[in-house]
Amino acid sequence: MLKKLVKPMALLFAILLFVGFFGFLFGSDNATIGVSTVLAVLMYLSRDLTANPVKNTLKLVLFNVIMGLVAYASSLNLFLAIPINFISLFTIAAALSYTISSPISTPFSMQYIFLIVAPVSLEALPLRLAALATGAVLIMAIQWRVNGNRVGVQSRKILPAICRNLGLKITGIRNGEDVKSADGAIRAAVDQLKHILYDARIDHYYFTRASEIYLDLTVALERINDLLPQLAAVANRDALLTDLGRLMAQIGETLAEKNPVAAAAIDFEAFFEQYGDETTADLAVLGVISQLEFLQDGLTAFVSPDPETNHRVSQTAAPASHARAMKRYRVKLSIDALSLSYAFRLAFAITICAFLVGYFQLQHGSWLLFTISSLTFPFYEMSRQKTGSRIVGTIIGGILVIVIFSILHLQNAVALVMIVSLFLTIVFMNQYVYSMIFTTVTAISSLVLIDSAANLSLDRIAYVIIGGIVVMLLSKFVLPYTEQDARKDLLAMYDEIIVNFFKDIKNSASYTANFKHRIMNLILTTTLIEDKLTASVAPDSDDDTDAFIGTRRGLIINIDQVYRWLLKNSDGLDDFKAVSLYLYQNDTAVLAANDDGLIAAIKQDHPRISRVVIGECLAIYRALHQLKLIPAEAAAGNINSKKE
């Protein structure tokens, strides 16, 4: 129990020290900027901003300084503040509402509220701007300290964990046990690593050589996970699964230790020789072997990287149009109907309420503004859930304050109560009702020496209820956006990205030079959409969503596998084109009933191309046919694009 308390105690000490030091440097009027900086640091630690450290630092500094200037301008006139506050808050929310479940605009919208409820004079403005600039620099400094090598550190944790869970899944399949738990852990870990690699892209498009290696390893392990259920019915199942489990354990140990000796000791070749007979082996077994070959290559690069290229940006002169296309989708994932709806409601509510608070000079009116900022979420369903929890937590917290200070008369222990309640807020950070209870105690305790606990508690409860009502009314009736709206938009966006990807490849003058960047960005971007889609759908539509995602994810992975095979077997390009053309011209290729005969016939005419690649070509062709994502006459052409 004591060990669990060490981390929140250390975090509390760091926060108090930081805010106190910030207030000492820039004065008590700017201490709240230290609080907003802490919020931004904590929220942004889950994202890696170090891929473009200088650019991101300059952006944050400029963003904060402009925010300070705009907030000062809004303080000059109550009526002028209406358009200024609306435009400012709308811009902040629309630009930074990147994640559905927790918009990363929150610390900056909170910071803007801090600035407008505690304005400074023109003489004090330079010090405030200096505080804002310093806060931005500190955010990036801590980012660099914590996330400077996030890709490498997290990859060496996540990849071995994937291998361990693959081992558990293999054992479960061999013993006829339920493997849902291991499968879920594998998929969660794969998605986590993909998110990390997505954030680590340079200029939102390019990858370091190390990131390429990590993604290649991740995709190969993901593909093995998908193929494992098919091994349950193959010949020599027990021996095959036992040997495969042993390989996974060795691969996991090598990934954890990054040991070239251990990598060399993994006997891939014996496994390939034992189970990889191209003429008799099951297609699923050959598929696993194909992925193990990719893993073997990836492990070699992983444990013995080229020091001159490992950290170099892998930019093969991608045409600007491809980078712009990916940036367009990155922006669309942020500035879409969801974000604009959220931004309008947040800006409108805070702007109007800020005017009313200032016009009527409402005491503690800032509590109303902070409530609105905290309860306004992209989805109506989220706002409804959080509003109820916040009201309950605030009422309980208010009662506790009355008991502590009005009944027990512990005014002399105000500082202790604040520290304890702040500590408990951190401990229960992930349990919203409890965190609201202790946040309420902390906020009211800071003022209990200048007003009665009962009055403060009633004010706090009233403002939270009013703020909750405002948020609920706006979420319900003003540009409402529900989970079903999000699902519809995300489904359309997913297909649009795939369609444009194929059009891009078809019209490209080169098949290989920049294809690596395109396919990697496609894999990572669609993973982000999948996570948003999964988080946004209702439970009764889970099956439909899983089917939608599964078909498209399989298509993307198959394209990647074919491309990687072609990189290793460039002399098979002509055969590959011929196979694709044959499938396009063969009406029966859509049906899976005669796969064995069809694959055997193709293999006989094109011995260079493996059965696995033929199977992947079939899967791609059928997916395109099933999804009707592109015109039929373009299907083969997209796959048969040129290669340098």
Is residue 49 pLDDT above 80, yes or no? Answer: yes
- Average pLDDT value for the chain: 85
**Residue 158, Cβ neighbours under 10 Å: how many?**
21
Residue 367 to residue 385: CA distance in whole angstroms? 19
Residue 156 to residue 162: CA distance in whole angstroms? 10
**Average pLDDT estimate for 23-32:** 92
The long-range contacts involving 430-435, CB below 8 angstroms and separated by at least 24 positions, are: 432/386, 432/389, 432/390, 432/393, 433/389, 433/392, 433/393, 433/396, 434/393, 435/393
**Tens of pLDDT along 495-518?**
888 877 777 665 554 445 467 778
**Tens of pLDDT along 263-289?**
788 989 999 999 988 887 888 999 999
Residue 325 — pLDDT band, cuts 50, 70, 90? low
C-alpha distance from residue 3 to each of 10, 14, 424 (Å): 11, 17, 15
Is residue 99 pLDDT above 50, yes or no? Answer: no
Asked if 457 contacts 444 with a C-beta cutoff of 8 angstroms, the reply is yes
Of the chain, the percentage scoring pLDDT greater than 70 comes to: 87
Residue 88 — pLDDT band, cuts 50, 70, 90? very high
Least confident span in 139-143, 250-254, 474-478, 578-582? 578-582
Residue 293 to residue 284: CA distance in whole angstroms? 14
**Average pLDDT estimate for 141-147:** 90
